[in-house]
Protein backbone atom coordinates (compact mmCIF):
# COMPACT_ATOMS: atom_id res chain seq x y z
CA UNK A 1 0.00 0.00 0.00
CA UNK A 2 1.34 3.36 -1.04
CA UNK A 3 -0.06 6.63 0.28
CA UNK A 4 0.67 9.98 -1.30
CA UNK A 5 -0.31 13.14 0.54
CA UNK A 6 -1.92 15.29 -2.15
CA UNK A 7 -3.02 17.93 0.34
CA UNK A 8 -2.86 18.08 4.13
CA UNK A 9 -3.82 21.66 4.96
CA UNK A 10 -6.75 23.03 6.91
CA UNK A 11 -9.57 25.09 5.36
CA UNK A 12 -7.57 28.32 5.63
CA UNK A 13 -4.41 27.67 3.65
CA UNK A 14 -2.25 27.38 6.79
CA UNK A 15 1.37 26.79 5.90
CA UNK A 16 0.54 27.27 2.20
CA UNK A 17 -0.75 23.71 2.11
CA UNK A 18 -3.45 22.37 -0.16
CA UNK A 19 -6.74 21.14 1.28
CA UNK A 20 -7.31 17.56 2.39
CA UNK A 21 -6.72 14.85 -0.20
CA UNK A 22 -4.84 11.52 0.04
CA UNK A 23 -4.10 9.20 -2.86
CA UNK A 24 -3.75 5.49 -2.12
CA UNK A 25 -2.54 2.64 -4.34
CA UNK A 26 -3.27 -0.83 -3.04
CA UNK A 27 -4.56 -4.22 -4.14
CA UNK A 28 -4.35 -3.24 -7.79
CA UNK A 29 -6.61 -0.24 -7.35
CA UNK A 30 -6.35 3.43 -6.47
CA UNK A 31 -8.58 5.65 -4.44
CA UNK A 32 -8.72 9.08 -2.88
CA UNK A 33 -9.53 9.88 0.70
CA UNK A 34 -11.24 13.28 0.67
CA UNK A 35 -11.25 15.69 -2.22
CA UNK A 36 -10.81 19.26 -0.97
CA UNK A 37 -11.34 22.19 -3.30
CA UNK A 38 -7.66 22.12 -4.36
CA UNK A 39 -7.49 18.37 -5.09
CA UNK A 40 -7.11 18.72 -8.84
CA UNK A 41 -4.23 21.18 -8.41
CA UNK A 42 -2.47 18.71 -6.11
CA UNK A 43 -3.01 15.73 -8.42
CA UNK A 44 -1.70 17.72 -11.37
CA UNK A 45 1.41 18.80 -9.44
CA UNK A 46 2.12 15.16 -8.62
CA UNK A 47 1.41 13.86 -12.12
CA UNK A 48 -1.46 11.65 -10.94
CA UNK A 49 -4.06 10.89 -13.59
CA UNK A 50 -7.60 11.38 -12.20
CA UNK A 51 -8.95 8.99 -14.83
CA UNK A 52 -7.01 6.14 -13.17
CA UNK A 53 -8.90 6.61 -9.90
CA UNK A 54 -12.14 4.59 -9.69
CA UNK A 55 -13.29 5.56 -6.20
CA UNK A 56 -13.24 8.45 -3.74
CA UNK A 57 -14.04 8.23 -0.02
CA UNK A 58 -15.29 11.43 1.65
CA UNK A 59 -15.08 11.84 5.42
CA UNK A 60 -17.46 14.77 5.83
CA UNK A 61 -19.27 17.46 3.91
CA UNK A 62 -17.10 20.51 4.47
CA UNK A 63 -15.77 22.26 1.38
CA UNK A 64 -12.12 21.61 2.24
CA UNK A 65 -12.90 17.88 2.16
CA UNK A 66 -15.40 17.41 -0.69
CA UNK A 67 -15.68 20.57 -2.85
CA UNK A 68 -12.95 19.37 -5.20
CA UNK A 69 -15.51 16.94 -6.60
CA UNK A 70 -17.04 19.89 -8.46
CA UNK A 71 -13.82 20.67 -10.34
CA UNK A 72 -13.19 16.96 -10.71
CA UNK A 73 -16.49 16.60 -12.52
CA UNK A 74 -15.79 19.51 -14.88
CA UNK A 75 -12.29 18.22 -15.57
CA UNK A 76 -13.56 14.68 -16.18
CA UNK A 77 -16.15 15.97 -18.59
CA UNK A 78 -14.26 18.62 -20.52
CA UNK A 79 -10.54 17.89 -20.17
CA UNK A 80 -9.89 14.27 -19.22
CA UNK A 81 -12.86 12.97 -21.27
CA UNK A 82 -13.43 10.32 -18.65
CA UNK A 83 -15.27 7.16 -19.63
CA UNK A 84 -14.44 4.92 -16.65
CA UNK A 85 -17.06 4.71 -13.89
CA UNK A 86 -16.50 6.63 -10.65
CA UNK A 87 -17.85 5.74 -7.21
CA UNK A 88 -18.01 8.42 -4.53
CA UNK A 89 -18.54 7.10 -1.00
CA UNK A 90 -19.59 9.54 1.70
CA UNK A 91 -22.01 10.49 4.46
CA UNK A 92 -25.79 10.40 3.95
CA UNK A 93 -26.87 13.31 1.75
CA UNK A 94 -23.62 13.49 -0.20
CA UNK A 95 -25.23 13.36 -3.63
CA UNK A 96 -27.67 16.21 -2.90
CA UNK A 97 -24.91 18.35 -1.39
CA UNK A 98 -22.63 17.68 -4.35
CA UNK A 99 -25.37 18.61 -6.82
CA UNK A 100 -26.21 21.80 -4.93
CA UNK A 101 -22.53 22.80 -4.80
CA UNK A 102 -22.12 22.18 -8.53
CA UNK A 103 -25.12 24.35 -9.28
CA UNK A 104 -23.95 27.24 -7.08
CA UNK A 105 -20.44 27.29 -8.51
CA UNK A 106 -21.09 26.29 -12.12
CA UNK A 107 -24.81 26.54 -12.94
CA UNK A 108 -25.95 23.73 -15.21
CA UNK A 109 -22.88 21.60 -14.52
CA UNK A 110 -24.76 18.92 -12.61
CA UNK A 111 -27.16 18.15 -15.43
CA UNK A 112 -24.69 17.90 -18.29
CA UNK A 113 -24.89 14.47 -19.92
CA UNK A 114 -21.85 12.51 -18.73
CA UNK A 115 -19.73 10.05 -20.68
CA UNK A 116 -19.04 8.12 -17.50
CA UNK A 117 -21.13 6.54 -14.81
CA UNK A 118 -21.02 8.52 -11.55
CA UNK A 119 -22.36 6.62 -8.58
CA UNK A 120 -22.77 7.86 -5.00
CA UNK A 121 -22.78 5.38 -2.11
CA UNK A 122 -23.81 6.41 1.39
CA UNK A 123 -21.84 4.93 4.23
CA UNK A 124 -22.98 4.86 7.87
CA UNK A 125 -21.73 3.37 11.11
CA UNK A 126 -24.18 0.52 10.73
CA UNK A 127 -23.44 -0.06 7.06
CA UNK A 128 -19.82 -0.78 6.14
CA UNK A 129 -19.25 -0.94 2.41
CA UNK A 130 -17.13 -3.11 0.17
CA UNK A 131 -15.84 -0.94 -2.67
CA UNK A 132 -13.82 -3.09 -5.06
CA UNK A 133 -11.09 -4.64 -2.89
CA UNK A 134 -11.52 -2.03 -0.13
CA UNK A 135 -13.63 -2.61 2.96
CA UNK A 136 -14.73 0.76 4.38
CA UNK A 137 -16.17 1.34 7.84
CA UNK A 138 -17.41 4.72 9.07
CA UNK A 139 -17.39 5.96 12.66
CA UNK A 140 -19.39 9.00 13.70
CA UNK A 141 -17.33 11.84 15.10
CA UNK A 142 -18.08 15.28 16.56
CA UNK A 143 -17.77 17.92 13.85
CA UNK A 144 -20.93 19.72 12.59
CA UNK A 145 -21.13 19.66 8.78
CA UNK A 146 -24.87 19.48 8.09
CA UNK A 147 -24.59 15.68 7.80
CA UNK A 148 -22.94 12.99 9.91
CA UNK A 149 -19.16 13.50 9.94
CA UNK A 150 -17.05 10.37 9.88
CA UNK A 151 -13.73 8.84 10.73
CA UNK A 152 -12.94 6.15 8.17
CA UNK A 153 -11.28 2.76 8.52
CA UNK A 154 -10.20 1.33 5.17
CA UNK A 155 -8.96 -2.25 4.91
CA UNK A 156 -7.35 -3.97 1.96
CA UNK A 157 -4.35 -6.24 1.25
CA UNK A 158 -4.34 -7.13 4.96
CA UNK A 159 -3.50 -3.50 5.80
CA UNK A 160 -5.54 -0.99 7.75
CA UNK A 161 -5.48 2.68 6.88
CA UNK A 162 -7.56 4.91 9.14
CA UNK A 163 -8.42 8.59 9.07
CA UNK A 164 -10.05 10.65 11.79
CA UNK A 165 -11.51 13.24 9.40
CA UNK A 166 -12.05 16.47 11.32
CA UNK A 167 -13.28 16.11 14.89
CA UNK A 168 -12.76 16.87 18.53
CA UNK A 169 -11.79 13.84 20.58
CA UNK A 170 -14.52 11.18 20.74
CA UNK A 171 -14.25 7.57 21.86
CA UNK A 172 -15.17 6.25 18.40
CA UNK A 173 -11.68 7.31 17.31
CA UNK A 174 -10.29 4.31 19.23
CA UNK A 175 -12.05 1.55 17.25
CA UNK A 176 -11.65 3.59 14.06
CA UNK A 177 -7.88 3.45 14.33
CA UNK A 178 -7.36 0.37 16.49
CA UNK A 179 -4.02 -1.27 15.62
CA UNK A 180 -4.08 0.42 12.21
CA UNK A 181 -0.97 0.27 10.06
CA UNK A 182 -1.35 4.02 9.61
CA UNK A 183 -3.71 6.41 11.36
CA UNK A 184 -4.03 9.83 9.75
CA UNK A 185 -5.12 12.12 12.58
CA UNK A 186 -6.18 15.72 12.35
CA UNK A 187 -4.19 17.85 14.74
CA UNK A 188 -5.30 21.45 14.67
CA UNK A 189 -3.52 22.81 17.73
CA UNK A 190 -0.50 21.68 19.72
CA UNK A 191 -2.37 21.80 23.04
CA UNK A 192 -5.75 22.83 24.36
CA UNK A 193 -9.17 21.96 23.04
CA UNK A 194 -10.07 23.70 19.78
CA UNK A 195 -13.82 23.52 19.03
CA UNK A 196 -14.58 20.42 16.98
CA UNK A 197 -10.90 19.76 16.30
CA UNK A 198 -8.05 18.01 18.12
CA UNK A 199 -4.77 19.02 19.66
CA UNK A 200 -1.54 17.04 19.81
CA UNK A 201 -1.79 16.72 23.60
CA UNK A 202 -5.16 14.98 23.30
CA UNK A 203 -3.88 12.67 20.58
CA UNK A 204 -0.73 11.87 22.57
CA UNK A 205 -2.78 10.90 25.63
CA UNK A 206 -4.68 8.29 23.60
CA UNK A 207 -2.01 6.81 21.32
CA UNK A 208 -1.16 3.83 23.50
CA UNK A 209 -4.70 2.51 23.68
CA UNK A 210 -5.33 3.10 19.96
CA UNK A 211 -2.22 1.06 19.20
CA UNK A 212 -1.72 2.30 15.64
CA UNK A 213 1.70 1.33 14.28
CA UNK A 214 2.22 4.71 12.67
CA UNK A 215 0.46 8.03 12.99
CA UNK A 216 0.43 10.89 10.52
CA UNK A 217 -0.60 14.29 11.85
CA UNK A 218 -2.51 16.49 9.44
CA UNK A 219 -4.85 19.52 9.08
CA UNK A 220 -2.49 21.64 11.17
CA UNK A 221 -3.08 25.32 11.91
CA UNK A 222 -0.28 27.91 11.79
CA UNK A 223 0.09 27.71 15.56
CA UNK A 224 0.39 23.92 15.44
CA UNK A 225 2.91 24.06 12.59
CA UNK A 226 4.99 26.52 14.61
CA UNK A 227 5.34 23.95 17.42
CA UNK A 228 5.51 20.74 15.40
CA UNK A 229 9.24 20.30 16.04
CA UNK A 230 8.38 19.63 19.71
CA UNK A 231 6.83 16.28 18.79
CA UNK A 232 9.31 13.47 19.37
CA UNK A 233 7.23 10.27 19.39
CA UNK A 234 8.85 7.64 17.14
CA UNK A 235 5.43 6.48 15.88
CA UNK A 236 4.42 9.93 14.71
CA UNK A 237 5.18 11.72 11.44
CA UNK A 238 4.01 15.11 10.23
CA UNK A 239 2.13 15.33 6.96
CA UNK A 240 3.45 17.45 4.13
CA UNK A 241 2.02 17.88 0.64
CA UNK A 242 3.76 15.40 -1.66
CA UNK A 243 4.88 13.05 1.15
CA UNK A 244 4.90 9.35 0.17
CA UNK A 245 4.45 6.58 2.75
CA UNK A 246 4.84 2.89 1.93
CA UNK A 247 2.97 0.49 4.20
ZN1 LIG B 1 -11.18 20.45 7.39
ZN1 LIG C 1 -14.39 19.99 8.65
Percentage above 70 pLDDT, the chain: 100
Q: What are residue 92's phi and psi, to 5 degrees?
A: -50, 135
62, 166 contact by CB (below 8 A)? yes
How far does residue 6's CA lie from ligand 2's centre (Å)? Answer: 17
89, 98 contact by CB (below 8 A)? no
Please tell me the predicted confidence (pLDDT) of residue 108: 95
How far does residue 63's CA lie from ligand 1's centre (Å)? Answer: 8
Q: Which of 201, 195, 97 is nearest to 147 (CA)?
A: 97
How far does residue 43's CA lie from ligand 2's centre (Å)? Answer: 21
Report the distance separating Cα 171 and Cα 173, nearest Å.
5
196, 143 contact by CB (below 8 A)? yes
pLDDT in tens, 32-87: 999 999 999 999 999 999 999 999 999 999 999 999 999 999 999 999 999 999 99
pLDDT confidence band for 232 (50 / 70 / 90): very high
- In this structure, of 91-95, 110-114, 116-120, 170-174, the range with the lowest mean pLDDT score is 110-114
How far does residue 149's CA lie from ligand 1's centre (Å)? Answer: 11
How far does residue 44's CA lie from ligand 2's centre (Å)? Answer: 24
Closest ligand, as measured to the CA of 91: 2
How far does residue 115's CA lie from ligand 1's centre (Å)? Answer: 31
pLDDT in tens, 75-94: 999 999 999 999 999 999 99
Report the distance separating Cα 144 and Cα 167, nearest Å.
9
Q: What is the mean pLDDT of residues 184-195?
A: 97
Q: What are residue 225's phi and psi, to 5 degrees?
A: -60, -35
How far does residue 166's CA lie from ligand 2's centre (Å)? Answer: 5
Strand ranges, E, within the chain: 2-7, 21-26, 29-33, 55-57, 86-90, 118-122, 129-131, 134-140, 150-156, 159-163, 182-186, 215-218, 236-238, 244-246
214, 183 contact by CB (below 8 A)? yes
Closest ligand, as measured to the CA of 149: 2
Closest ligand, as measured to the CA of 150: 2
Amino acid sequence: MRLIVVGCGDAFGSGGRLQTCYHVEAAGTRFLIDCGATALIGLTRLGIDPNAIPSIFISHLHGDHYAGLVWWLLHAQHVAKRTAPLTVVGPPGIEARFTATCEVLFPGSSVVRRRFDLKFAEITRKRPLQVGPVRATAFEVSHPSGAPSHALRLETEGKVLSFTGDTEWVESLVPAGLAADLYIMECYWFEGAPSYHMSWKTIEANLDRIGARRVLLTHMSERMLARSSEIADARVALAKDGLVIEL
